[in-house]
Structure formats: structure tokens, C-alpha cells
Structure 1
Amino acid sequence: MAEVKPIITIDDIEKLDVRVGTILNVEDVPRSTRMVKLTVDFGEFTRNILVGFKQEREDPTEVIGKQAVFIVNLGPKKISGEVSEGMIFDIGYQDGIKPVLAIPEFPVPNGSRLG
């Protein structure tokens, strides 16, 4: 098991804008062996978020229509010619197991914030 990371403060957590969004579409990123582009509905806005699903899932499109948890206030980052506007939370990747989405217990309005 991984060691617990260093202690942070509540102020560190409050800097993150973590919201629930529904995955509307999954597109291949042709210039990448790992990345696909998710189009995610956050209620009042939509974002494109790149994720490494190509090697993690047989069919990356299986997540279309699912709600998941994302960080929406990361600065845009260009990866393999595409711009990513956030980050998905998944569970397991860093521990070497097949990742699963961090999802709400039951459907909530898109854009709902954690905290």
C-alpha cells in the first residue's frame, strides 16, 4: 500500500473546483497511444478533458452517459495536439489496478460541487 501523502490544509482543498459532470462523447486522439477526448456537460458549461482510457479500457465509449467527478479549474494543457480543460478522478490507476470512475452514489445535477 502507498504511503499517505504529506499533510495539507483545508485552504489547499478549497483551491480545487471539483464538480460532477456527465460524459457526452468520447473521441479518439489519433496522435496519442493513450489519450481519448471526453466532452463533459457541467450544466452551465461544457469542457473537453483528455484521459488515458485507450490502454485502460477495451471500449472507452462505455463511459458515455455516465456521471463522474472532475477538477474543472486546472489551466488548459495541450496534449498530442488537443487541449485538455480539466482532470477526471479515477480510482486505482496509481495502484496498478484497472481504474474505475469516481461517481456519485445517485444522479445529481451536472455542475454539482464537492465539499
Structure 2
Amino acid sequence: MYDVEDFWKFDMRVGLIEEAERVPNSKKLIKLLVDFGREKRVVVTGIADQFSPDDLVGKKMIFVLNLKPKKIMNVESQGMLILAEEDSGKVHLITVDDAVPVGTKVW
């Protein structure tokens, strides 16, 4: 079990996906360029087996920002996209209402 204080350590923010493209030589990876208002970041997500890049562009979604950057297939990912996944492995996008400004803290 985790203490609620552990949860508060995560910096989760609303980001607008401006660009999305498949990562070359990968079946599952999509590289995102995400606007968080004060900055833009590259985030790599492994959902290309269920979504195309075009499905993601223009969507506001929730991201974790204060993780250590991780190099995936020669692309540095500077955050993590939050998704919903069924036990079967089917993934669902969790979008944020257009009225919520980019960069808004999620808790």
C-alpha cells in the first residue's frame, strides 16, 4: 500500500498534443509533441497498435511530467501519457474538456 503523500509527488498536467508520428522501426511507439503552456515536451507512448497518430493530434490529455527522461528507440521521452486499460489490454484515451487550459495541474 502507498501513502497518499506518495501520490502527491507526481506532477500531472493537462497537455495539448500538437504533433504525433510513428517512431521508425517500432510497431507500438508514437512520438508526441505536447504543449503544456509554459513549455513543450516530447513524450513517447506505446499505443500505436491501437491508435494512429491522427487519433491523438488536437486532444487535451493528462501527462506525468516529473519522471526521469527515458530514451526509447533513440527518442527521449520527457513524460508519460495517462491512459485507461482494460484487463483485456484494450486501451482508452482519457481526454480533457476543451475549457481546461493547457498546463493545468491535475490531482
Identify whether the pair has TM-score above 0.5, normalized to the shorter chain.
yes
Counterparts of 1:53 and 1:33 in 2: how far apart (Å)?
9
- Secondary structure at the aligned position of 2:25 is classed as coil
Counterparts of 1:70 and 1:16 in 2: how far apart (Å)?
10
Counterparts of 1:32 and 1:47 in 2: how far apart (Å)?
20
Alpha-carbon contact 2:19-2:57 (below 8 Å) kept? yes
Alpha-carbon contact 1:23-1:40 (below 8 Å) kept? yes
Q: Of residues 70, 76, 91 in structure 2, which corresponds to 1:99?
A: 91
Q: Of residues 64, 74, 89 in structure 2, which corresponds to 1:71?
A: 64
Q: Which residue of 2 aligns with 1:25?
A: 19
5+ residue gaps, structure 1:
1-6
Counterparts of 1:72 and 1:29 in 2: how far apart (Å)?
21
- Secondary structure at the aligned position of 1:62 is classed as helix
Counterparts of 2:88 and 2:39 in 1: how far apart (Å)?
33
Higher Rg: 1
Counterparts of 1:25 and 1:71 in 2: how far apart (Å)?
18
Q: Which has the higher strand share?
A: 2
5+ residue gaps, structure 2:
none
Residues matched between the structures, number = 107
Alignment CA distance shift 1:100-1:107 (3 Å): farther
